[in-house]
Structure 1
Amino acid sequence: MLERYLHPFEAGRGLQEQLRERLLNAILDGAMPPSEAMPSSRKLSELLKISRNTVVLVYEHLVQDGYLIPSDRRGYFINEKFLHQQLNVSLRASSQKLFDRPDHAPDWGRRMQTESAQMRAIIKPRNWREYRYPFIYGQVEADEQTAVRWRDCARIAAMGAHMRCWVDDQVTLDDPLLVEQIIARVLPKRGIKAGPEEILVTIGTQNSLYMLAQLLGRPGLIMGLEDPGYVDARNIFGLSGCDLRPLRIDGQGLVVDKQLDGCDMLFCTPSHQSPTGVTMPVYRRMELLASARERDFLVIEDDYESEQNYLGSNHPALKSFDDSGRVIYLGSLTKNLLPGLRLGFIAADPELIHELRALRRYIYRHPPSNNQRTLALFLSMGHYDAHARRQRDRLARKWRLISRALAKHLPDCHTSGMAGGSSLWVTGTPELDAWRLQRLVAKRGVLIEPGDIHFLGSERPQYHFRLGFGAIAEELIEPGIVALGEAWREMQGQLQAEPATSM
């Protein structure tokens, strides 16, 4: 039975790690009888075509961890007593259904105060890498140079004085070196000056929004949201009971006019409007701040993709013009670096940060301190800036490729998001059904994202979709757009044939 656990090794992962993982799975699943010895190191190394030393090391580690017991001249045996103590279940009962739902199970529907799972949210396929042409937003191409430098920083963070900074529970505090780097190296690029008392490290923008919604949101509060806009912001403030008001945008972002009357707070993405990618000019940013003072509302600024402006100079952040403390600035530190790390920050008035820090304590205390220190070192050594430069150059090339390909193969489409970023917002002809197009292009290995989910109102146009190009290889962009164009024309042919078919 052991053989079915010993499938081929994966590239890019250590052999010891993978062998240990597979042997443990076999042991915990009861594939090896405790009365029988494990395969000898020689036999297992020959079977797997790996070094015998690798097998011996893995066996010795499993002995040290209590899973195996060595026996002179007989080999290694499963430590059944240890497993019983750890799992409190016999290996022979591993097939027992431990989680059958009993008749007296609680009625969760009656008890739950919110139904987050029922909210309209963006769904991204977990198997997106299996698509040949993944035009998916929010993912990046693997950058081996960045990964190597991150590993170096993680190694340094695990040594000496650096390690002493993160082994203890910091309760409410952030890594002082990371806060220092945010103040000295990140915020100045956006024109923002801040002190340590104005910074809170979070585990990403969604977490920042959730804490703000918990602290500032309430039933009856009028929350203005760009329409189309950022779906997670809409859902997060909806969960807090806020009255959500859709706010019109145009080719320069959020429109500042009478539609802001009555808003208590609003969320906006001035640098690259989410999802259209348009940039709010400086004059309109000044109008928005003046409106906030006159109408007495707060502004949450998500500085979405500001570091990816490769087609012109960056406008200073809205927060940089704020002299009233009304702007709450959200920044991501890892979205375009290593998205799985989930680190960001809030820059805001000290009184608000003080309350957010107290609230964060009761949610998760603080983001993992080892990751904070590793990122601080990554910033201090200049690796973050080097990565950003490489990424801007890479995305600029991709933007030119995808823009030319769309103009050539989908001339009926209009695109926005021309000031940089990692995606294009595509508007088709009124008869376009983006979901139907998505199904057609998927058959050709193309992944696109329909855009109706980004609209707040009941009337959600179906003729928009988003093309992310951060994760797709440059040489695959034009072939992917060619396939998209073919599906587009196939759908148009189907639409023209449908009225005749129905007669």
Structure 2
Amino acid sequence: MTLSADTFFIDPASPGTLQSQIRQSITAAVLAGRLRKGERLPSSRALAQHLGIARITVTLAFQDLVADGYLESRDRSGYFVAPTAPLAEAPRRRKPLPPGQIDWAQWLDMRHGAARVVEKEVGWQRFKYPFIYGQTDATLFNHTSWRLCAHQALGRRDFDALTADYGTHDDPMLLDYIARHTLPRRGISAAPENILITIGAQNALWLICQLLLGNGRQAAFENPGYPGLRAILAQFGAALPVDVDEAGLPPEALPHSARLVFVTPSHQAPSTVTMPMARRRQLLALAKARNMLIVEDDYEFEMSFSNPPTPALKSLDAEGRVIYVGSFSKSLFPGLRLGYLVAPPEFVAEARALRATVLRHPPGHIQRTVAYFLALGHYDAQINRMRATFKDRRTVMRDALAANGLRALRGGVSGGTSFWMQTAEGVDSSALAAALRHDDVLIEPGDPFFAEPGPGGRFYRLAYSSIDAARIPEGIARIARAEAALR
């Protein structure tokens, strides 16, 4: 039996190459039992003509499937589903679990699911005015260079980096680049033994808390601040919120019981204010006097474009009291999930051992791909492009906010990718966000950033990292109209 070319379809808008789509559609049909062993596929010429693509694309897809045992080529006869093709699994009847057998409330304390977090909108790209933080603008990313680096990392020369179990170690090429290029730009001098690669900054913060909290130790953190950190601290019952002001976290407000302090001095999350150098030195002096440790989350230092970035708090640290956390999530893309921490060797050694008990190490091919992207200069070019674009978008948004009478709180004087906003009296930001969704606009209500529900009702974050400058004025105008309707 010869299958008709009319049974095959591809979607030019789908991710992946046309060749990979053909391959996926055939393997899916074989595994589902729609294509059976011995059945003949349409000729490459007929299928290419039907799909409106080059014949070589179809031929290459067929050859890949031959190599994997799905198809076989018969001389002068064409391509057939091979006898070696995987068998389609017989559908299994699924039975629902019996209800009421386990009282999960007795087994689970339910504290993780109850954490207040910033909800990540699935399919945010369908909104015309997405003022959301931390997502990647595909128009700014160098897809071609990333693809080449990934291909190089998958090559035979890098086979060990791709396949090896590093145990407690990390890719030496990536460690070397971070030590010799990334950290010196923050004024930090470190060796590879001072660096641990993590599954994003969140993983780094979790490792730090696991190692340093317990035995009654308390940790101070910024309020409003990063919800992900607050959720971790809540697991230890060690959270001491400290209200920030126009210069970030005020050292004099730190409780005497705090043994650990978490700060975002470059761009305070979410207000985006930059901690002045005098306050940084004051914080370090206080940490020495009280024998405290400081965790510096430098999540967005690359996005400094209005003024040169101030030196990292870690660069001023003469005693090793500061643990530095960095991430590639904002400068590359959040789905990468790759970050790092910098600390004295004794701490890094323990963190490596703890990491090994949970996930051993981040995937080797991801580490090596990022290492190539950094070392070949693509990363610096990417950062320069993003800085220039975000500087332009910030100017457009600032002017649009002023023109529409919306109130942006002071912050972001050195850059960043968002504004911290305050609503008019009587307008709740969650209600505002809900109303705007119906008008094709996304914003982030402020409540999850605060330690307690309530105070964040009049605040929201407005980001420009995921929206083109040309759409910003109309999006801001829609926010202003929605806020006026809620007064």
Task: Tell me if the contact between 1:157 and 1:373 (Cα under 8 Å) persists in the aligned partners.
Answer: yes
Measured against aligned partners, the alpha-carbon deviations of 1:137-186 in whole angstroms (never above 9, x if no partner) come to 00132246622222233333344644444432221211222212111111
Does 2:257 match 1:257?
Answer: no
| 1:392 match | 387
Specify which of 178, 191, 196 is matched with residue 200 of structure 1: 196
Distance 1:489 1:299, change over 3 A: same
Distance 1:220 1:457, change over 3 A: farther
| 1:437 match | 432
Measured against aligned partners, the alpha-carbon deviations of 1:369-396 in whole angstroms (never above 9, x if no partner) come to 2222222232223222222122111111
Q: For structure 1, which segment, 251-260 or 374-383, has the greater mean C-alpha deviation from structure 2 after superposition?
A: 374-383
| 1:323 match | 318
| Distance in 2 separating the partners of 1:102 and 1:74 | 54
Does 2:28 match 1:25?
Answer: yes
- Displacement of 1:454 in angstroms is 0.3
Specify which of 321, 327, 330 is matched with residue 335 of structure 1: 330
| Distance in 1 separating the partners of 2:407 and 2:253 | 34
| Distance in 1 separating the partners of 2:102 and 2:74 | 49
| 2:265 match | 270
- Displacement of 1:217 in angstroms is 2.5
TM-score w.r.t. the length of structure 1 is: 0.88
Distance 1:82 1:478, change over 3 A: same
Does 2:66 match 1:63?
Answer: yes
Task: Tell me if the contact between 1:219 and 1:242 (Cα under 8 Å) persists in the aligned partners.
Answer: no
Count of residues in Structure 1 that have an aligned counterpart in Structure 2? 484
- 1:13 maps to a residue whose letter is G
- 2:24 maps to a residue whose letter is E
- Displacement of 1:111 in angstroms is 3.4
Does 2:41 match 1:45?
Answer: no
Please provide the CA RMSD for this pair: 2.6
| Distance in 2 separating the partners of 1:329 and 1:185 | 16
- Structure 2 residue runs of 5 or longer lacking an equivalent are none
| 2:223 match | 227
| Distance in 2 separating the partners of 1:279 and 1:357 | 31
| 2:370 match | 375
Q: For structure 1, which segment, 156-165 or 341-350, has the greater mean C-alpha deviation from structure 2 after superposition?
A: 156-165
- Displacement of 1:208 in angstroms is 0.5
Task: Tell me if the contact between 1:413 and 1:429 (Cα under 8 Å) persists in the aligned partners.
Answer: no
| Distance in 2 separating the partners of 1:175 and 1:269 | 27
Task: Tell me if the contact between 2:274 and 2:411 (Cα under 8 Å) persists in the aligned partners.
Answer: no
Task: Tell me if the contact between 1:273 and 1:304 (Cα under 8 Å) persists in the aligned partners.
Answer: no
Residues 14-413 of structure 1: pairs in structure 2 closer than 5 A? 14-32=17-35, 36-69=39-72, 76-78=79-81, 82-84=85-87, 89-90=89-90, 93=91, 96-98=92-94, 100-102=96-98, 108-112=104-108, 115-143=111-139, 146-159=142-155, 161-218=157-214, 220-239=216-235, 241-412=236-407
Distance 1:116 1:22, change over 3 A: farther
Identity, % of aligned positions: 38
| Distance in 1 separating the partners of 2:233 and 2:95 | 34
- Displacement of 1:257 in angstroms is 1.3
TM-score w.r.t. the length of structure 2 is: 0.91
Task: Tell me if the contact between 1:414 and 1:428 (Cα under 8 Å) persists in the aligned partners.
Answer: no
| 2:471 match | 476
Distance 1:23 1:448, change over 3 A: same
Q: For structure 1, which segment, 137-146 or 280-289, has the greater mean C-alpha deviation from structure 2 after superposition?
A: 137-146
| Distance in 1 separating the partners of 2:155 and 2:58 | 29
- 1:362 maps to a residue whose letter is T
| Distance in 2 separating the partners of 1:144 and 1:401 | 18
Distance 1:413 1:366, change over 3 A: closer
- Structure 1 residue runs of 5 or longer lacking an equivalent are 493-503
Residues 423-502 of structure 1: pairs in structure 2 closer than 5 A? 423-492=418-487
Task: Tell me if the contact between 1:34 and 1:79 (Cα under 8 Å) persists in the aligned partners.
Answer: yes
- Displacement of 1:323 in angstroms is 1.6
Distance 1:8 1:388, change over 3 A: closer
Measured against aligned partners, the alpha-carbon deviations of 1:462-484 in whole angstroms (never above 9, x if no partner) come to 11010110111111111111121
